[in-house]
Structure 1
Amino acid sequence: MSPTPPPDHIDSDAAQLASLGYQSEFKRDMSPWANFSLGFTYLSPVVAIYTMFAFGLATGGPPMIWSLVITGVGQLLVALVFSEVVAQFPVAGGVYPWARRLWGRRYAWLTGWVYMMALFVTIASVVSGAGPYIASLLGFEASVNTTIICSLAILALATIINYMGTRVLAMAAIIGFTAELLGALAVGGWLLVTERHHNLGVVFDSFGAGNGGNYLWAFAAAALVGIYNYYGFEACGDVAEEVPDPGRLIPKAMRRTIYVGGAAATFVALALVLSVADIPAVISGKDADPVSGVLNEAFGPVGSKIILGVVLLSFLSCSMSLQAAASRLAYSYGRDDMIVGSRWLRKFSQAKRVPPYALLAAGVIPALVVLASKFSQDALTKIVSFASVGIYLGFQMVVFAALRARLKGWEPSGKYRLGKWGLPVNIMALVYGVVAIIIMSWPRTPDAPWYDNYIVLISGVVVVGAGLLYMALRRPYGRSDAPYDDAIPKARPVTALTDEPELSNT
């Protein structure tokens, strides 16, 4: 851990937060290194690749790896927009308080609602993805019931770590980051040296993926691998009240999360692609678990167990970081009295310096999603699909709010500014996000029941619709006098001007 920040930083951070209308109860115990580690373990290249590799390879063949490059560039644009916003408004909770300052209370409420639901589902998707690896490590069958039990165990452990406070969370994030990065480099390097069956040209060969149709559609479907990988950087801003000098340090952490996480994910995916001996078997469905097969072949029974242990540590770190982000968002919601149960969500443990009931919500709600997966086939793919589109929708609501604010005169005034590049970067980030949402929502299985074919679109409509209905019935956005819509300059009252000198009353 880095040393305690000097008092002048603490005082200036508190003064900036006070100018934004808040007095924080958090301790600024999270070092820059820990803040970056939190974003990295949330993004978690190992979790993303190991969870979605089989799907991506079976759907799009080896060229699916290029989706990691394309989405990485797109999400970097989003991260640059977020960097400007968090530098000016370093408030806990991320997208909700950002949207509140950029646009207004109603828009911010809906942004926070969509993002919070997506975060809960994302937590469920990550712990569900860990289930089969736990089964493989312990040597039992990964049935639906055992996967659910293992998922709930990972979720409970992540909740306990979060409850122990910011300092423990920061330490766990650093440990998780170190283990995951070293593990990714070691595994990828060993596979390339000892288990490579193809040359680099394979990443341009689809091996017939897409059933002979237009390959663009197959690639777009497989792009879920890249889309699922590149979020997590925003977690650096979700804990803005726990980081010293957040306006300077958080934008750096966000960008580094994209750079390092994207490079690690691409390296791992490339090593796995080159190490799968029978790619057509994966595409045809004969080999449904190519990752475990490659690891067993390359490392043997004992070595593969060690690798699986590192993978599970990555899943735990990712779950923990996701929970931290979700709980800070729920706390921020509660602090502004924006939702039912706010008096509990805003409660704060002075001993642990965490919001305990917000953390509990970030454990219980994902657990219910995990339990519901028992009643659905292909539950993991469906959960991941909605989690991704929900996160992207929350992101793009902030990107759109930032673009609207710029056009109305907002000039970012934080410690990080894009200057003349702000508007073009903002526009490109919005275009990328809209295209990504369309790709995720587009139905691709015409032979499936309609509700399966449109599951992503339906789930998105249900979440947004439920939020709009709640807003209409309860009007939660108007209960707090916390500042809002203050990024956009307000027009000054017009006063009469005269060239005549002011007359004295005497």
Structure 2
Amino acid sequence: MSTSSPARPDEDDVQHLHALGYQSEFKRDMSPWANFSLGFTYLSPVVGVYTLFAYALATGGPPMIWSFLIVGVGQLLVALTFSEIVAQFPVAGGVYPWARRLWGRRYAWMTGWVYLVALLVTIASVVYGAGPFIAAAFGFDATVNNTIAFALVLLAVATAINFMGTKVLAKAAIIGFTAEIIGALVVGGWLLIGHRHHNLSVLFDSFGAGGDGNYMWAFAAAALIGVYQYYGFEACGDVAEEVPNPGRLIPKAMRRTIYIGGAAATFVCLALVLSVADIPAVIAGTDTDPVSTVLNEAFGPVGAKVILLVVLISFLSCAMSLQAAASRLAYSYGRDGMIMGSSLLKKFSATRHVPPYALILAAIVPALIVIGSKVSTDAITKIISFAAFGIYLGFQMVVLAALRARLKGWVPSGKYQLGKWGLAVNIAALVYGVTAMINMAWPRTPGAPWYDNWIVALSAAVVVGIGLVYMVVHPLHDRSTAPHSDAIPTKATPRKMPTP
């Protein structure tokens, strides 16, 4: 009696995707290590900490570092929820196809819209934020024109890397991760060994930050350094069709992104806090750039330049990973015929195995935002204010969809399952996410005009409002024939039991 040989892993992946209604054009060239590196470089602890350290220390003092632990636990809950979803629906595009399967077409359209806008704005904020670092590294003045020019160059390099295909993207992500983790360990280690001015007790001393009021308000504001740090793990799932055995490997990569990325960010922040000689000066506002102060004192001009080059690699890797995520989301939109321009967004390069027009979109829109800063730096600040909030909003729309689906009978059936803990983790993830968004949108500038004080919430309302108008005027989503709403069992579809 003859027996058929078991299907190879790549054949299993093809069959699973086919069962979900798709035939992938991507090549599964991204190793588990590269998939993790993509999430890590998107999270980019060096970029996040260096960008927000001065604000956080001045606002909340050294205890702000505890926000990394609090936010890390909260985002791990979100990552665990995402892990169950991507294991069952390993489809390119991340939050959009997940929301589509868990809830439906209209809800998925809005989820994808919010997240895509947030990603495009975040790409602009990363490359624009790199401008002053590039100027400092190469001895230029950080004028508006120079910042714009350097940002556009960095964006062009990131786009070129993405156009070279999954294999090159994977190698670039690993290089970026390696450079960033070595830089974090070397810089942090040297600061702790040779330039430490305080002991660990300083982490419990606010140095008067927050004034005479309740310190918890100051801590909540300073905690934004942690809130803005812990996303990027979802990028591991955005490229689900480029990873072999995604149902098992992507959940691992997501968790590792949280563990290792969070540990690296906390380590860098700890080293900087203990190495700032005059913390009261930072809180008082007389030292507005404590990172540069510490690096120049500890490494000298030459050493500081070397560190800046590592930071630039981190910025490039972060922009590259963000572009990869945004392009896969746009491609997924196009493939399902969900938005104007779908005929272009769904096009695929047979030689490079990438969606070229989706990548172009992920380059042109951020470039236009950066160029717009020439007209108004204040305007770009307002636009960028939506970036992190929009990503969190996209996350929580998926978390909410998952909770609704569970309550309607969805039982995750992928290779990763939380079992009896699934509902509790899902609820806790939603509570955390909503709390974080309230903290991000909370008005903290009473002296500013009301529209500036509420800019984060207002920008989110504008993005959602534009999306709703578009859905009414151009309702392509209602005509999309791709599978949707199939996570929730119906009378015609018996409830699936978990896979043993």
TM-score > 0.5 by shorter chain? yes
Which position in structure 1 is the counterpart of 2:473? Answer: 473
CA drift at 1:222: 1.3
CA drift at 1:382: 4.7
Matches within 5 A, 1:137-156: 137-156=137-156
Which position in structure 2 is the counterpart of 1:234? Answer: 234
Matches within 5 A, 1:234-253: 234-253=234-253
CA drift at 1:145: 2.3
CA drift at 1:34: 0.4
Q: Which moves more between the two structures, 283-292 or 111-120?
A: 283-292
Which position in structure 2 is the counterpart of 1:370? Answer: 370
- The alignment status of 1:187 with 2:199, answered yes or no, reads no
The 2-side partners of 1:74 and 1:380 are apart by 29
Which position in structure 2 is the counterpart of 1:34? Answer: 34
SS at match of 2:8: helix
Cα distance, 1:491–1:327 mapped onto 2, change above 3 Å: same
Q: Which amino acid aligns with 2:481?
A: D
- The alignment status of 1:212 with 2:204, answered yes or no, reads no
Which position in structure 2 is the counterpart of 1:16? Answer: 16
Matches within 5 A, 1:85-484: 85-376=85-376, 382=382, 385-484=385-484
The 2-side partners of 1:374 and 1:281 are apart by 33
Q: Which amino acid aligns with 1:444?
A: R
Deviations 1:271-295 (A, max 9, x none): 0011111112212222111111111
- Unpaired runs of 5+ residues, structure 1, are 1-5, 495-506
Cα distance, 1:252–1:380 mapped onto 2, change above 3 Å: farther
The 2-side partners of 1:382 and 1:469 are apart by 21
CA drift at 1:126: 1.1
Alignment coverage as a number of residue pairs: 489
SS at match of 1:229: coil
CA drift at 1:132: 1.4
The 2-side partners of 1:366 and 1:433 are apart by 26
Q: Which amino acid aligns with 2:293?
A: G
Q: Is the 8 A contact 2:369 2:380 kept in 1?
A: no
Q: Which amino acid aligns with 1:156?
A: A
The 1-side partners of 2:351 and 2:240 are apart by 20
The 2-side partners of 1:133 and 1:75 are apart by 29
Q: Which amino acid aligns with 2:55?
A: F
Q: Which amino acid aligns with 1:421?
A: W
Q: Is the 8 A contact 1:54 1:288 kept in 2?
A: yes
Matched-pair identity in %: 75
Highest Rg: 1 or 2?
1
Q: Which moves more between the two structures, 388-397 or 61-70?
A: 61-70
TM-score, with normalisation over the residues of structure 2? Answer: 0.95
Cα distance, 1:486–1:137 mapped onto 2, change above 3 Å: same
SS at match of 2:281: helix
CA drift at 1:385: 3.5
SS at match of 1:67: helix
Q: Is the 8 A contact 1:9 1:245 kept in 2?
A: yes
Q: Which amino acid aligns with 1:78?
A: V
Q: Which moves more between the two structures, 148-157 or 402-411?
A: 148-157
Q: Which amino acid aligns with 2:30?
A: M
CA drift at 1:378: 6.3
Which position in structure 2 is the counterpart of 1:491? Answer: 491
CA drift at 1:51: 1.0
The alignment yields a C-alpha RMSD, in angstroms, of: 1.5
Q: Is the 8 A contact 1:104 1:484 kept in 2?
A: yes
Which position in structure 2 is the counterpart of 1:70? Answer: 70
The 1-side partners of 2:476 and 2:280 are apart by 53
Q: Which amino acid aligns with 2:148?
A: I
Q: Which moves more between the two structures, 484-493 or 184-193?
A: 484-493
Q: Which amino acid aligns with 1:285?
A: G
Cα distance, 1:88–1:51 mapped onto 2, change above 3 Å: same
Q: Is the 8 A contact 1:102 1:488 kept in 2?
A: yes
Q: Is the 8 A contact 1:228 1:384 kept in 2?
A: no
Deviations 1:68-124 (A, max 9, x none): 111100000000000000000000000000000000000000000000000011111
- Unpaired runs of 5+ residues, structure 2, are 1-5, 495-500
CA drift at 1:202: 1.2
Deviations 1:121-179 (A, max 9, x none): 11111112211111111122222222222111111110000001000000000000011
The 1-side partners of 2:377 and 2:402 are apart by 39
The 2-side partners of 1:274 and 1:429 are apart by 32
Which position in structure 1 is the counterpart of 2:498? Answer: none
TM-score, with normalisation over the residues of structure 1? Answer: 0.94
CA drift at 1:459: 0.4
Cα distance, 1:425–1:105 mapped onto 2, change above 3 Å: same
Q: Is the 8 A contact 1:67 1:226 kept in 2?
A: yes
Q: Is the 8 A contact 1:75 1:429 kept in 2?
A: yes
- The alignment status of 1:59 with 2:59, answered yes or no, reads yes
Q: Which amino acid aligns with 1:393?
A: L
The 2-side partners of 1:483 and 1:29 are apart by 26
The 1-side partners of 2:226 and 2:369 are apart by 23
The 1-side partners of 2:493 and 2:273 are apart by 64
Q: Which amino acid aligns with 1:292?
A: S
Q: Is the 8 A contact 2:385 2:459 kept in 1?
A: no
Q: Which moves more between the two structures, 53-62 or 39-48?
A: 53-62
The 2-side partners of 1:157 and 1:346 are apart by 23
Which position in structure 2 is the counterpart of 1:498? Answer: none
The 2-side partners of 1:15 and 1:167 are apart by 23
